[in-house]
Amino acid sequence: MLFQVGGQGTRPTFFEMAAAQQLPASLRAALTYSIGVLALRRPFFHRVLDYEDEFFSLLMLVLETHSLRTTDASFSESLYGLRRRGVNVKVKKEDSRSVSGDGIQHRGLAKHQKVLSVVFLVVLPYFKSKLHAIYNKEREVRLQASLWGDDNERFNDSEVYDVRGDLVPTRTLRVEASVRERVMNKFQKIVGACYPWLHASSEGLSFTYQLLYLLDATGFYSLGLQVIGVHVCRATGQELMDTSSRISKIRSHERERLRGPPWLKAIQGGILTCMYTMLDYAQTGLIAAVFFFKMMEWWYQSAEERMSAPTVYPPPPPPPPPKVAKEGIPLPPNRTICPLCSEKRANPSVVTVSGFVFCYTCIFKYVSQYKRCPITLMPANVDHIRRLFHDM
């Protein structure tokens, strides 16, 4: 089989890995929307939206650290029943424990692998988001400069007033610019020039690894996993059952490490218990809350669209054709013939009051003289003549 699509073996399918990778982005979008809805009633939440990157990175830092410590998997991977395993390619032939069919031995995550996992899961996406924001800002500045010209060129000879009302030339203000602003401007220009290449390289590497993973050519879904030396595997049934007991052992061990008088240990134990409870509620209730808000968004948006959508009526029937007057000029059997000159129409023009078409010179002379349509005898003037361009 060319690539794996079923759910057999410990190797996750491409679709499982893709769903686990896309979950943080969907989670961020849903949280941003939820906080935006709350900000309509509580303006305090606008401050959270102003620091959206920092808030979401801090939240994911707590969740990813806790998930890696307790389940050896990222937050999204643990929801899909996946686990991270360290890779050891150099395996002795007599050692057959935890060895896959391709001669790769899987083991638990080391401490440095957990730290690097947090770096690739939280720190690098945070910096990428900030660089993307700086690039968008620099691109807007360049676009405005291309449309309106450089601000330095537009205001070279302008003058401004300081707080005391003294006249200060802009050259003096530019000389007094701080070193930090100059460094930031240069940094933004460097980011604006380099970020597209970095982004294209990152996306190209991600696509390459995903394609190779889909074709079973590699066991690493991304470059980050290969740098860390980690394979993502399906958790066995026993591992899923032992997760709760493992979490309890870790928490008991942390309580035993507390030092100090009994009353201090009691306070520290209570704080740890509160933190663990909050983490448990965050892990179990975060996804449910996000799906709830997205469902409410869909529900209210659909209802609002139904209420605000205009009623669509069928188009009205076309008006009946104008009647030919008894005293008017009869219509020729050939529709391309002008009724006035009885020749093929040249520069066809229509009389808007009746809709009949004539030669422009013929109808202009007739309407200028008789002030009516020659067929229906309806009142008309030269302003009612319109040129038709269907033959050009």
Q: What is the pLDDT of residues 250-304, one digit of tens each?
A: 666 666 666 667 766 667 667 766 766 666 666 656 666 656 666 666 665 655 5
Q: Which residue shows structure tokens 């076309």? A: 318
What pLDDT is attached to residue 365?
92
Q: How far apart are CA 233 and CA 230, in angstroms?
A: 9
Per 3-state DSSP, the chain is made up of helix, strand and coil in percentages (nearest 5) of 60, 10, 30
- If asked whether residues 53 and 126 sit together in one domain, one would say yes
Residues 201 and 337 in one domain: no
Two tokens, residue 344: 């093929």
Determine, yes or no, domain membership for 156.
Answer: no
User: 298 and 351 share a domain?
Assistant: no
- pLDDT, residue 241, reads 65
Q: Is the same domain home to 357 and 244?
A: no
Contact 45, 38 (CB under 8 A): yes
Judge whether 160 and 170 are in contact, CB under 8 Å: yes
Do 339 and 279 reside in the same domain of the chain?
no
- Amino acid 240 reads L
Residues 119 and 263 occupy one common structural domain: no
Statement to judge: residues 233 and 135 lie in one domain: yes
Q: Write down which residue in 228, 248, 268 finishes a domain.
A: 248
Q: Are residues 56 and 187 in the same domain?
A: yes
Report yes or no on 384 lying in a domain: yes
Q: Assess if residue 314 is contained within a domain.
A: no
Rounded average pLDDT per 10-residue block, the chain, 392 residues:
49 87 81 80 82 87 84 83 76 45 63 89 91 87 71 43 46 58 82 88 91 88 89 78 65 64 68 66 61 64 57 77 84 88 89 90 92 90 86 52
Range of the domain at 28: 1-89+108-150+176-248
Dist CA 62 CA 13 (whole Å)? 27
- Token pair of 32 as six digits: 């941003």
Q: How far is CA 72 from CA 85, 115, 120, 246, 362, in A?
A: 8, 12, 15, 11, 90
Domain-embedded: residue 98: no
Domain-located, residue 101:
no
How far from 46 is each of 24, 137, 330, CA to CA, in Å? 22, 21, 75
pLDDT in tens, 217-255: 888 888 988 888 888 888 777 766 666 666 666 666 666
- Cβ contacts of 9 within 8 Å, gap of 6 or more: 234
Number of domains in the chain: 3
List the one residue out of 76, 24, 16 whose CA is nearest residue 234: 16
Indicate the residue among 223, 248, 273 that finishes a domain: 248
In a domain, 94, yes or no: no
CA 371 to centroid of chain Cα atoms: 63
Q: Do residues 114 and 244 share a domain?
A: yes
The verdict on residue 298 lying in a domain is yes
Q: Is 342 inside a domain boundary?
A: yes
CA–CA gap between residue 348 and residue 359 (Å, rounded): 5
What are the tokens at 47?
């401050």
Rg (CA), the chain: 37
158 in helix, strand or coil? coil
Residue 68 neighbours by CB distance under 10 Å: 22
CATH of the domain at 380: 3.30.40.10
pLDDT tens per residue, range 152-162: 444 344 444 44
d(CA 97, CA 85): 14
Q: Are residues 71 and 43 in the same domain?
A: yes
What's the pTM value of the predicted model, to 2 decimals? 0.57
Run of H or E including 230: strand 230-234
Burial class, 338, CB count within 10 angstroms (exposed 0-12 / middle 13-18 / buried 19+): buried
Does one domain contain both 140 and 276? no
Residue 201: predicted pLDDT: 92
pLDDT at 268: 66
* Domain edge (last residue) among 248, 270, 291: 248
- Burial code (b: 16+ CB inside 10 Å, e: under 16) for 192-208 equals beebeeeeeeeeeeeee
Q: What is the dihedral of CA 288, 291, 297, 298, to 10 degrees?
A: -140
Structure tokens at 366: 């007739």
Tell me: do 293 and 377 sit in the same domain: no
